[in-house]
Amino acid sequence: MTKGVFQGPLLRVNDYLWRIPRSYKPGMRVDGLIYADDYLIEQIRNDQAPEQVANVAFLPGIQYASLAMPDIHWGYGFCIGGVCATDPEEGGVISPGGVGYDINCGVRLVRSNLHLRDVQPHLKTLIEELFRQVPTGVGRTGKYHFDRHELRKLLAEGPRALKERGLVTDADLEHTEARGKLEGADPDLVSDRALERGSEQCGTLGSGNHFLEVQVVDDVFDEEAARVMGLEKDMVCVMIHSGSRGLGYQVCDDALHMLRNVPQKYGIELPDRQLACAPVNSPEGQRYIGAMRAAANFAWCNRQLLMWQAREVFSTVFGKPWQELQMNLVYDVCHNIAKFEEHSIGGKRRKVWVHRKGATRAFPPGHPEVPACYREIGQPVIIPGDMGRASWVLVGQAGSMEQTFGTTCHGAGRALSRTAAVQASKGRRIDQELASRGIVARARSWKGLAEEQPEAYKDVDHVVEVVHQAGISRKVARLRPIGVIKG
């Protein structure tokens, strides 16, 4: 979080939407729109993230509005929770700040046929074994190693490249956004430094807000959608939140260096250097897009291998193959990405680059990119919360296509900076506080748990209520954590 109260106008549109008029700053091409209720907007005012919403409105080719979800907070260039679409036919740009450093950071949910009564007696053993077997923490390497040729194949093909090692199933691919592969990925555009950083990190969790949680379905709000996804009350699930690790970070860093003077080259005036961008159809724009897509494919491989390791641990602890435990992937969705999509804008169908920075795709029922098994209910939307309260499963709604380029929130959103969270944790044992709530938590350091304590985040129930009421995604099930591993 960045200190300082936002001084600009926030005009109410309705109970769940606020507008920053384009007249606020000379150079804004469109309005800013922020999804929030009265409670959340007061928190949002106390951060400078709305200023970033206004700044994004300067980008050439931006369509409709610069958008922000209710989990909005300060980020690099774009706010976390920021969404914008740019049209290449109108000089639209691509901006790494609208994707983020952790390219294709995302989340996947795995269901099982185990229930709370089955897992509770083995919970501590299960979490300890997950913590031992799943690599977590800064710079940690994993048990999967790929030579240069194999790594480039992962970047080009995504998880389907893991078939040769028997580490992915057809069902896993079917239940992954974009089937785990962005076409047009170009490993040749990924630097040697990025490849080096990623060579031993595929299948590792990382640090920060990344986690692997054992969760239980706490409540069901849409029985039919839950049935289609194979979810029911008291069922035990696994949620995995991670991204492209050092490889994706380096791809973003390389791009920002490349783009440092590019806006000036193309006569683009920006209010913030962190919005560095290039016209989509320029050589520089195409270079970033090819590398970004490759990093996104790597991230899907990373989450696939994290899931595979979790399946193996469950199999060991419960003495049955993961297939017998029905540990099937419900869905994998990303929330740090830019994709070329067709949307209706001003009554016309247009292809635009949708930047989702800390924001989740939420396509509605009937959309051709929703897997066939979910097409009647809409795309599953997975929203992780903090490790002490809850996470959510939703489905996309038609309102998302009308309002947000098929997008919803991605999480709870930080309420405290990491520094402030650590300061607030002095003299406390976060692991013991979580244990008092029935949650077994393991992390590499005290600081890791302190930074991610529940109080560091907004209440995800509140955030989800906004997107539900706004009609961009609908509540299906609430899941509460019973075991957490973090870096």
Is residue 410 flagged as an active site residue? yes
**Helix ranges restricted to H, 159-282:** 170-174, 192-198, 223-229, 245-258, 262-265
User: Whole-angstrom Cα distance, residue 207 to residue 202?
Assistant: 14
Apex CA 363: angle with CA 213 and CA 98, to 5°? 75
Rounded Cα distance between 276 and 485, Å, is 35
Distance CA 444, CA 461 (A): 28
Rounded Cα distance, 430 and 388, in Å:
10
The four Cα atoms 415, 299, 448, 480 give a dihedral, to 10 degrees, of 60
Residue type, 466: V
User: Each residue of 122-161: b (16+ CB within 10 Å) or e?
Assistant: ebeebbbbbbeebbbbeebebebebeeebbbbbbbbbbbb
Contact 291, 190 (CB under 8 A): yes
List b or e across 57-90, with b for residues whose CB sees 16 or more CB atoms inside 10 angstroms.
Answer: bbbbbbbbbbbbbbbbbbbbbbbbbbbbbbbbee
- 124 to 6, 214, 438, 483: CA distances (angstroms): 45, 11, 11, 8
Among candidate residues 257, 410, 462, 468, the one labeled active-site is 410
Other C-beta atoms lying within 10 Å of the C-beta of residue 22: 18
Are the C-beta atoms of 151 and 312 separated by less than 8 Å? no
Q: How many CB atoms lie within 10 A of CB 419?
A: 10
Residue pair 134/205 in contact (Cβ under 8 Å)? The answer is yes
Q: CA-CA distances (angstroms) from residue 56 to 52, 79, 102, 308? A: 6, 9, 19, 39
Residues with catalytic function: 410
